[in-house]
Amino acid sequence: MATQQRPGTALAAGLLDPALYASDPHPLYARLRAEAPVAWNEERGFWALATHGDVSAVEADHETYCARRGILVDEIGVTYATPPTMMHADPPAHTRYRRLVQPGFKPSVVRALEPVIRARTKALVDRIEAGVTTDVVPVLSVPLPLQVIGEILGVPEDEWERCYEWSEAVLPGATDWPEERRQQLMLDMTQYLVAAAKDRRARPRDDVLTQLAEAELDGEKLTDDELTMFLVQLLVAGNETTRNLLTGGLLALAEHPDQWRRLRGEPGLVAPAVEEMLRWSSPVASFMRTATRQAELHGVRIAEGEPVLMLFASANRDEAVFGPSAGEFDVGRSPNPHLAFGQGNHFCLGAALARLEGRVVLEELVARFGAVGPAGAVERSGSSVVPGIRCAELRFAAA
């Protein structure tokens, strides 16, 4: 297909602009869904997929769309000798990895973390005063997931801030730190995690890190490189996305006070409310795949070797799936087939943990406060991958 014939080039041109994510990308997503659901980004050379159907189709077809050639736009053209994360692997390697680490995330293991999560949530919520403007990012959304991941990884309780810096260093666009500092932080992180895993192999404990360190499949354990890969992924994915789920969800509830009242009146809506928070905030905005053979989406030919960017955040507002209320925040939405955790082989291993943290936070806040509303600044990051919220000033009212 000649370049000038490729659809959506004008619309897709701004998809990586940090200013878009620092404001609101959803008007652009809506135009893409309506005018160019499969759109070509000329500058970086990838197709952007805006609809729920196309994103689902690509996620489900690992033979046609592979992850091993990169999951981020910055990885276009990069070749890896071994997958840098499990998210970069395809079956059968990906299947082996999942079978090795799945026991560490089975429902009974996650449920066992609830007392710790609830105790830490209560302690953080105690810092929120009714009637006082509170930036929920540093008070609640950042520390809680990091403290939980720190518990899993064996990081001392008073050093969870170290995990924060490591995690921020890994994500492209998350900070404006010099590259030298990012590289040093990532080296420090790798060395710490390898040492922690070796400690668990020598002195096992009853925790998730020990289960990962000792995991075996057909008598085969993870290598040090593979274990490090999993631990880095757990550290980053386990806190950045949950942080954005909590902040984005609480901001949505502040902006839709009727939905907070519904939760207060119907506590049984907490679980579906977490699902709506996931759909609405889409903690991961996009991931990439690469076509392994010629394919077609929405009548557009995808050539072998061309990258396709799955816009989860757009898919989660697709009117064709969520109906005319797709652009509304509804804590009682059912069904809610959002793609916040992906699907198929790459469905998020930590989904149950994120849901648990979201549920506990809502239960504690709704029980304690009668209302929540916007109270000032909201500052969003410019990352097109994990477009987080750096500041969200809210005001909670006493019950």
What are the pLDDT digits (tens) for 52-85? 999 999 999 999 999 999 999 999 998 888 888 8
The answer, yes or no, to whether residue 307 has pLDDT greater than 50, is yes
- 335 and 272 in contact (C-beta within 8 Å)? no
Nearest-10 crossing angle of helices 224-255, 179-202: 110
For 236: left if phi > 0, alpha if psi spans -120 to 50, otherwise beta; the answer is alpha
- Per-residue confidence band for 1, with pLDDT thresholds at 50, 70 and 90: very low
In whole angstroms, what is the distance from residue 249 CA to residue 394 CA? Answer: 12
What pLDDT does 2 receive? 42
Q: Could you give all domains of the chain from N- to C-terminal order, each with its CATH number?
A: 3-398 (1.10.630.10)
Residue 346: other Cβ atoms inside 10 A = 21
What pLDDT does 239 receive? 84
- Per-residue confidence band for 3, with pLDDT thresholds at 50, 70 and 90: very low
Rg (CA), the chain: 21
Give all strands of the β-sheet with 307-311 in edge-to-edge order. 38-41, 46-49, 307-311, 286-291, 65-66
* Burial status of residue 199 (CB atoms within 10 A of its CB: 0-12, 13-18, 19 or more): middle
User: Percentage of residues in the chain with pLDDT exceeding 90?
Assistant: 65
In whole angstroms, what is the distance from residue 352 CA to residue 152 CA? Answer: 14
What pLDDT does 217 receive? 66
Nearest CA to 51 among 38, 64, 66? Answer: 38
Tens of pLDDT along 90-112?
Answer: 999 898 888 877 877 888 888 99
Report pTM. 0.92
What does DSSP assign to residue 139? Answer: I
Nearest CA to 379 among 396, 370, 392, 398? Answer: 392
Q: Which residues pair with 308 in a beta bridge?
A: 47, 289
